[in-house]
Amino acid sequence: MPLPDDTDLSELIACPSCDALYRAVEPENGERAVCERCHHVLIAPVSRAITRVVALSLTVLMLLGTAMFLPFLKIEASGLTHSTSIVDAALSFSGVHMFGLALGVLSLIIFVPVARSLLLLFALLPLLAHRPPFQGARTAFRLSEELRPWSMAEIFVLGVGVALVKVADMARVELQAAFWLFAALVIVTVLQDGFLCRWSIWQALEGRGRHAPAADAEGEPKHV
Amino acid sequence: MSSYDALSMPLNTARKAGLVACTHCARVWPGEQKTCPRCGSALASRDRHSLSRVWAWWWVGLICYIPANLFPMLQTTLLGKTSGDTIVGGAVLLAMHGAVPVALVILLASVCIPVAKFIAVAYLALSVQHNWPSDRLRRMRLYELVEFVGRWSMIDVFVVAVLSSLVQLSIVVSIKPGPAAVTFALAVVFTMLSARSFDSRLIWDSLDPDLVPDSPNDPAPAPSGAQKDSLP
């Protein structure tokens, strides 16, 4: 079913999961536009989304920067104590010649979350100041989205929980500052992903839509 | 949903309209466009090599998953005696110590989810290759579930990392990662890549009467609507 010749392609949205084609109409903040066919969420705008995502990215950086070097867990058994940091946990694999795995674990729980936050800040900070985005902002945002599944801080926290139960009857374990910072990080990451509506941010990076720098001048997008 | 309207009934797709959609940013372009001018990712109306990549990662993942279950994940040295625990062995040991819920979490994350994921990805790929007449929405749900749940299998690798850095009490007791930790981590990564290689739009083509005759490997037809950007 070809479209009429005068169709403006920038007004359309195709569902990334099933290819269904729609005329994009941005729903109210807090509402969601869902694909009729496969129920994939297409647009889910949130008010002041860019401010929130930027704030949460900064929080992630601060939490991770602090948590990395503070003691994480402390174990005590028959008079012996041993405390460990997050970096120690990842590097435990390098002690038995599994350098690749050590690097992989370190990436999944620290490098990838940090990289995602930095990329998001790079892409979105100029928009926050009502300026045109930096060159490369779109590549940065695409990369940050591609990194999303590889950011596994929340899984690490659950892993710590399981590990604690495993040693509970062997020794006394104390949760220390870095553990709580990491737990906070999980909540922040979940919030960040909830506020991040890809479509709205792409529109903003293109200079359209509600969050765009020029949105005040152009007004709200037309509903068709 | 009333907040947007479908372009026409029955539902139109970008492919049928002669357009190509970007799976990263959802923007639509004329059919001959090769990279998305907005986000820079490669465009393909349907990813021609999607299924071969799915199967390649799937087999590598399976090959890594077998040794991951046979070799020990953890090597515990208690008062000079070293013993190795495989994934299943470790969970059984936990259950015998009374920590049944935790044992179940481990079994679920390290055995049930990976096995179910292998089966689910293979089923999705086969259903598309052979045009099985199963419900498309249900298959889509299955695919989304596989993508969402797959990452959680990494939990066992993290447990090993935490345990072996924490439990280092000189000669009394110490824990070291076993060889299965590497192959298990690789198996999780490869199955994630396998699932991500799958082009879910193929599910929706497979039962579409207009699209079944031409295989997903054919390029999109050039329709009249998209020709304003192409040469006459």
A101 to B163: CB separation less than 8 angstroms, yes or no:
no
pLDDT in tens, A48-86: 888 888 999 999 999 888 888 788 888 887 777 888 888
pLDDT by 10-residue block (mean), chain B, 232 residues: 44 83 87 85 83 94 93 82 81 81 81 91 91 86 90 88 80 81 92 92 74 44 34 32
A75 to B204: CB separation less than 8 angstroms, yes or no:
no
Whole-model pTM: value is 0.83
What mean pLDDT do residues A11-31 have? 85
Nearest to B137 among A7, A38, A156 (CB): A38
Nearest to A98 among B29, B106, B181 (CB): B181
Residue B61: predicted pLDDT: 95
Reported as a pLDDT band with limits 50, 70 and 90, residue A140 is very high
What mean pLDDT do residues A192-218 have? 72
| Residues in chain A, overall count | 224
pLDDT in tens, A94-106: 777 778 888 888 8
Residue B13: predicted pLDDT: 83
Q: How many CB atoms lie within 10 A of CB B170?
A: 8
What residues of chain B lie within 8 A of the CB of A205, using their CB? 38
B172 to A39: CB separation less than 8 angstroms, yes or no:
no
Q: What gap in Å lies between CA A186 and CA A63, rounded to an integer?
A: 10
A89 to B24: CB separation less than 8 angstroms, yes or no:
no
Instruction: Output the CA angle B123-B50-B28, nearest 5 degrees.
Output: 115
Closest residue in A to B99 (Cα–Cα): A165
More confident residue, B231 or A212: A212
Share of chain A above pLDDT 70, in %: 92
The answer to whether residue A129 neighbours chain B at the CB level (below 8 Å) is no
Reported as a pLDDT band with limits 50, 70 and 90, residue A176 is confident
For chain A, the three-class secondary structure string (H helix, E strand, C coil) is CCCCCCCCHHHEEECCCCCEEEECCCCCCCCCEECCCCCCEEECCCCCHHHHHHHHHHHHHHHHHHHHHCCCEEEEECCEEEEECHHHHHHCCHHHCCHHHHHHHHHHHHHHHHHHHHHHHHHHHHHHCCCCCCCCHHHHHHHHHHHHHHCCHHHHHHHHHHHHHHHCCCCEEEECHHHHHHHHHHHHHHHHHHHCCHHHHHHHHCCCCCCCCCHHHHCCCCCC
The answer to whether residue A171 neighbours chain B at the CB level (below 8 Å) is yes
Reported as a pLDDT band with limits 50, 70 and 90, residue A47 is confident
Q: What radius of gyration do chain B's Cα atoms show?
A: 24
Residue A5: is it exposed, middle or buried by C-beta count within 10 angstroms (0-12/13-18/19+)?
Answer: exposed
Share of chain A above pLDDT 90, in %: 13
Enumerate the β-bridge partners of residue A75. Answer: A82, A173
What residues of chain B lie within 8 A of the CB of A5, using their CB? 224-225, 228
Residue A210: predicted pLDDT: 66
Reported as a pLDDT band with limits 50, 70 and 90, residue A223 is very low
Residue A125 to residues A54, A200, B104, B174, B212: CA-CA distances in angstroms? Answer: 7, 15, 44, 47, 46
Q: Helix axis angle, B180-197 relative to B155-166, nearest 10°?
A: 150
Residue B207: predicted pLDDT: 64
Q: Is the pLDDT of residue A131 over 80?
A: yes
What residues of chain B lie within 8 A of the CB of A149, using their CB? 147, 151, 192, 196
